[in-house]
Structure 1
Amino acid sequence: MSDLTAYFDLVGYRHQGRPDLAALRALHLRHTHSIPFENLSPLAGLPVKLDIPSILEKFSRQRGGYCYEHNLLFQHALDALGFNTTALLARVRMNVPADVVTPRSHMLLLVEADGEQWIADTGFGRMTLTSPIRLEPGAAQSTPHGRYRLIKDDEGYRLEAETAGSWEPLYAFDLRRCYPPDFEMSNWYVSTHPASHFVHDLVAVRTVAGGRHVIYNTRYSFYGLDAPPVSVQLQTVDEILDMLRSEFGIAAHEVAGIQDRLARLVSRVSSAGR
């Protein structure tokens, strides 16, 4: 139980009682508010390890991670608490043309609680769920950070988020159970393939009660729950590192090779803006 104790200390959660919906919601919220989403390791050309000790050790060093790291650790904790979970893979549809087929590169969870099935996902960047949603197609469901809905079609389900009064597709999935080799393969693709934006672009998200802090390459934005987003263009590597430390709680300066990679990113963005 030592790894679970360290995880619960990290997210500030103490479980008492049975594995019910209230516990699922509480842990989901604490996880998403405590551990940032970021891709510094693949951006720096470093491996992304998916074993639980490595994930927990990384998170404990003021780091974050992406979907596999977040949801594998979250699933590990849920299973230990007595929940029945199923790991799934999804095709990302966010900002993707309808006629483009994407790989199954995103991990999420199906969780049973209080006699119903719920979709839980602690690792989808700026649009991460901060509460599980019921596996109920068509119904708009509220979370602490906006409304989501599931649409059912011939191939499975599509998760959508309400943004500016319209519904934006996030990803598509079915309910076939996936296994560790599936995630090892997908993780290798996402963290090393030239077509993966995680090896080219900086992405970091920190969820807080009032909204989300987001960095995409050299632009920092805060997406408030009841206000229009506020954005700032970061000009230097030091400004990016300082922002990651102050607003995201990420010790990016300790990532081997990241300063050189960020310098190239800043130069690329600057050249594109000329």
Structure 2
Amino acid sequence: MLDDIMEDYLRRIGATRPEKADLQGLRHVMERHILSVPFENLDYHLDEEIFMDERVLDKIVRKSRGGGCYEVNPALSFLLEALGYEVDILPGRVQRPDGLGPFLGHLALRVWIDGEAWLVDVGFGRNSRFPLRMDSREAQSDPHGEYELRDGEAGAVDVYLNGKPLYQVHDRPVRIADFAPTLWWYRTSPESSFLQGLFCSIRTEDGLVTLKGNTQMSRVAGSERSKETLEDDAAAFEAYKQHFGIALDRLPKEPNLGVTTGVRTE
């Protein structure tokens, strides 16, 4: 039987507990997670600590928050393991304008079902809505676009969306704790993309809602796109609550939004 916080986790994302640890159940849980848990970096600008271990469950489940890949993917791994899935933590390298970023710069999941490996990632911003079959080199259609996995160097797999590279994952599993030095860099370096930009983004059934800074709101719904500038702090508080389910008692500090962050949220 799942413990209380895992039952609350399922309620948090509006998911039904799978009857067994199969692909159908994985697709359901991943989709509900994508549509319920924001991809956001608010705590980097609220001077709050970032947890990758089981303590992150309090943030995701109890506080109805989201996070970056170091938070939401570990949190999902704890839920999937509680549901009976076999899960590996995979290290990744994010594709940047000047090439691949550092090793351990991204954290993704590999889930095994009946001997087949599936890539599960709910913490990238442009990740797929459903699991991607890791042994396939054919285009895989998803509500978020056409994904393709290509063989990289030394056992790595390159992930592409609509023909453009997103990131690379390596097939040798690591521990969550192995990401601690990189998390420290993201938390402290002036070059950290998570410190250079403030963002909160969530997928909807037919699109995407994003708030950059505390003022720049954009929405995509099918073929419709809109943008607006929020008038004041009260509007920002309301936007976080209404669109992302996040109740804040103070707004995160806005960085210099003129800096190119390297983090894509749409």
SS in structure 2 of the partner of residue 214 of structure 1: strand
Q: 1:156-178: per-residue Cα shift (whole Å, max 9, x none)?
A: 1111112xxxx221111211111
1:138–1:151 CA contact under 8 A, matched in 2? yes
* CA shift in 2, pair 1:113/1:7, >3 Å: same
Q: Which structure 2 residues correspond to residues 109-188 of structure 1 after superposition, within 5 A? A: 109-125=109-125, 127-155=126-154, 156-162=156-162, 167-188=163-184
**Percentage identity across paired residues of the two chains:** 28
Give the whole-Å Cα distance in 2 for the aligned partners of 1:87 and 1:50: 12
1:34-89 deviation per Cα after TM superposition (whole angstroms, max 9, x unaligned):
1111111112222112232x322212223211112111111111112221111011
Distance 1:102 1:234, change over 3 A: farther
Partner of 1:220: 217
Cα deviation, residue 108, structure 1: 0.4
Q: Is residue 160–residue 168 contact of structure 1 (8 Å, CA) maintained in 2?
A: yes
One-letter identity of the residue aligned with 1:91: R
Which has the larger share of helix?
1
Aligned partners of 2:12 and 2:64 also within 8 Å: no
2:261 equivalent in structure 1: none
Q: Which runs of no fewer than 5 residues in structure 1 stay unpaired?
A: none
- The one-letter code sitting in structure 2 at the alignment partner of 1:142 is S
CA contact (8 A) 2:197 2:257 kept: no
Shift of 1:235: 5.1
Unaligned runs of 5+ in 2: 259-266
Q: Give the direction of change, closer, same or farther, for the CA distance of 1:72–1:269 in structure 2 (3 Å limit).
A: closer
Q: What is the alpha-carbon distance in structure 1 between the residues aligned to residue 230 and residue 103 of structure 2?
A: 32
Summarize deviations over 1:181-236 as a string: whole Å, max 9, x none: 21222222223322112123111111111111112334222233x31532223454
2:249 is the alignment partner of 1:254: yes
Q: Distance in 2 between matches of 1:133 and 1:123?
A: 14
Q: Is the 8 A contact 1:221 1:230 kept in 2?
A: yes
Q: TM-score, normalised by structure 1?
A: 0.84
Match of 1:203 in 2: 199
TM-score scaled by length of structure 2: 0.87
- 1:53-72 alignment runs, 5 A limit: 54-59=55-60, 60-72=62-74
Instruction: Provide closer, same or farther for how the CA distance between residues 83 and 62 of structure 1 changes in structure 2, counting only shifts above 3 A.
Output: closer
Instruction: Kindly provide the amino acid, as one letter, of the partner of residue 25 in structure 1.
Output: R
State the one-letter code of the partner of 1:195.
E
Q: Distance in 2 between matches of 1:240 and 1:121?
A: 28
CA separation of 1:174 and 1:247: change in aligned 2, threshold 3 A: same
Q: In structure 2, how many angstroms separate the alpha carbons of the residues matched to 1:106 and 1:236? A: 34
Size of the aligned set, in residue pairs, is: 255
Runs of 4+ with deviation above 4 angstroms: none
Give me the whole-angstrom Cα distance separating, in 2, the residues matched to 1:220 and 1:45: 23
Q: 2:10 aligns with which of 1, 8, 11?
A: 8
Q: Tell me, yes or no, if structure 1 residue 79 matches structure 2 residue 81.
A: yes
**Displacement of 1:137 after TM fit?**
4.6
Select which of 43, 46, 55 maps to 2:45: 43
For 2:16, what is the secondary structure of its paired residue? coil
Deviation of residue 269 (structure 1)? 4.7
Distance 1:123 1:101 in 2: 16
